[in-house]
Chain A
Amino acid sequence: MPRTGLLAPAAAGFLLLAATADFAQAEGDTIVLGAAVSLTGKYSVNGKNTKDGYDLAVKRINEMGGVKVGGKAYKLKVAYYDDESTPARGAQLAERLIGQDGVKFVLGAYSSGLTKAIAPVTEKYKVPHVEGNGAARELFTQGYRYLFAVLSTSDYYLRDAVNLAAEVAKEKGRDPKTLKIAMAFENDPFSLDVRDGILEDAKRYGMHVAIDDKLPPEINDMAATLTKVRAVKPDMLLVSGHEKGATLVVRQTAEMKIDVPIVATTHCDSAKIAESMGKLAEGVLCASQWDRKLSYQDKWFGSADDYANLFEKEFKYPAPYQAAESTATVLVFADAFARAGSLDPEKVRDAIASTDMMTFFGPIKFDSTGKNVVKPMVLYQVLGGDYKVVAPTKWAETKLVWPRKLPQ
């Protein structure tokens, strides 16, 4: 009977498909959140951080009895796909999560590029999309209704370095107007956002931007820019070029002895500059979304430090901010489900929009464009081979060492 021999597996396949689709639709007592994260490709390191952050949140919430929605307790679960670090694939997978798997709530991918690809899809299907790893400013100028971000947008990354420099200048009896800025930013959307933020602040203080280089994406050497820095003698050097830029500026300012009182960069914690370059990184300022030493508290994890400890116990490596952001994303959903009292995506979306909560990651409250407007950025300084929080001054752990003493 060749015909039935073919039919049976086909039927079984259909049943299986139907079953998985059914399972994913938040029926029963489980709510399924969908996520495309980068498990392979260039973002694989941070993709894993993101996934670990989601997993820890889900595990903790389920341990605490899940989420109560309209008197019934639900467990959470995340359905993952690997987006291979490519935006086109991310958009495809979002379609698949929503269209085929019936997911009604989407967690963000890693990086602004991927988020930019996925947001139109979640918008089309009117599915709430909360993310913690896409910081580009333009994500929030498109009028998206269903996209929310728990992190500070990228134009805030290095503003604190400028503010700090102005503070120091005032302390030393110098007018911030006389300060000179040298900056080198990679030519990518994220870094150009960071640059916009600096330009705004520089204008506000009346500071002079003496060097404004845009690094090519394949940058392997910053010698030409740094030679210029030596000639101009600026009061601060600001760099954003992902891990490459952070590593290069640390290595080459030390090697070429480029003496600038304030050197600040993004991505130095993920580039592990203090760990892998030791002395060379001394005195460098690093922008970060979050730190375990901040005194934030919540009911799920306790303090930021408790979270970091739990994370390290679970995954055997120190909690990076990328993971903390991701965990906070899930907490926003959990909080919104409970307040909405329903699993209707529209009601959940409205509940998310009116979020006003404190988490171990920091305060979360969205403006009308969907970005978190109450959480400040953190600025570290590498001191004695460790990252110490120096700004915002309210949460600071120690005072800024100024000027940076070049490692000998």
Chain B
Amino acid sequence: MSKASELEARFGRACDLLMGELASGESLSVEFAGESSTFMRFNGAKVRQIGEVDKASVDFKYYRDGKTIASSVTLGGNEAEDIERSAHALTRARREAALLPEDPYQTLPSAAGQSKESFSGRLPDATRLPEEILAPADLLAKAGADYVGIHSQGPLCRGAANSSGARHWFATETFATDYSAYLPNGKAVKSCYAGRDWDGAEYRRRLEAEKPKLEALAKPEKILAPGEYRVYLAPDALNEFIGFFSWNGLSERDMREGESAWLALREGRKSLSPKFGLSQDFSLGVQPRFNELGEVAPETLSLIKGGKLVNTFVSARSAKQYGAVSNASPEGEYLRSGAIAGGDLAEEKILETLGTGLYVSNLHYLNWSDNDSARITGMTRFACVWVENGKIVAPIKDMRFDESLFNLWGDKLEAVTAKRSLVVETGSYFLRALEGSLLPGMLIEGFTFTL
């Protein structure tokens, strides 16, 4: 039995126990997340930490008599132990739900569809990872660079089911080598080789391709004064903004409760450039369409079109509370599989069109600095370079920016690249992430740097 199949069996056992023991008048929705991962962390092209994690759990919601309670069960793979843990959690949920006040916006799970998607991969032998991942970094060492990062691999699984008959399963086997190569001057290139089928030759080719970038970064740095600059944001840099459609973002609840930074867009007080578009697009194939209630979202959902807000994320709960129409968003009402619309700027014309300004490869540690004006602060990071007359001149000393998204993607948005890149999320808080976004690059006139 493959590891993904074994994780699916854990999901099935928990569902069978939880659904099978429900009494009349009780409802349940169950969400499963599991992984069997190998992690190798490295610094100086040497292994810092190496290990594996087998982790699976179901988070369920129990509904009875207008009461709702959430619970979680860790599933270790031992059949008897997992069944006992599930039974204990259901017992506790029944006991505690009775203590709660009625939930006025309770939405019982009603979706009944079923689906199953499974993608196998070809991954390196875990015990040979040090050789496979770190030996090729010798070519970077010869270029004077120090190799640091993490390689992770293994199956990732998600599932959802409910007491109305929905049952969904998504399994994929992936790897990600998320790395940086640092020069002695502190400048670095950053990239990630990710996918399902490991190709050692392709990995080495990618490392080889970093060498000319490192040569550019070895030059003396240029120190910019605070002010407004012409800027090109590469897809990896743009990816740092993706979370801001979720955090104080395009949630219907956040709009109603004054927490969204996009209220001015909703209310027509601000608009974005006609060049700006955003959608949720599950055709990217990186994550499943179902949510924790077993509801399946439409394959695509247009959110901002031609600079205007056309949809928000509406969960079943918000639909009931506010009289809106659900689009099968999770209760957290966040963006999944985001895609920013492409434009007409050709890849080979980026530097020429930028002319003189700043090529921003990556950004770091962004945060809302003023919610009402959708202003965000953050830092440049990694291979950001100064460009003059279409030629790379020097790396820059990192700068802090503080800029409203209504400016950045409004009047200041000059061009969007035609080519878009799939930027895979490599985060691993609690679990390895199963997300990604399809992103272009953007040319911005007058990007504001403050420090």
Chains A and B are bound partners: no
Residues of B within 8 A of A (CB): none
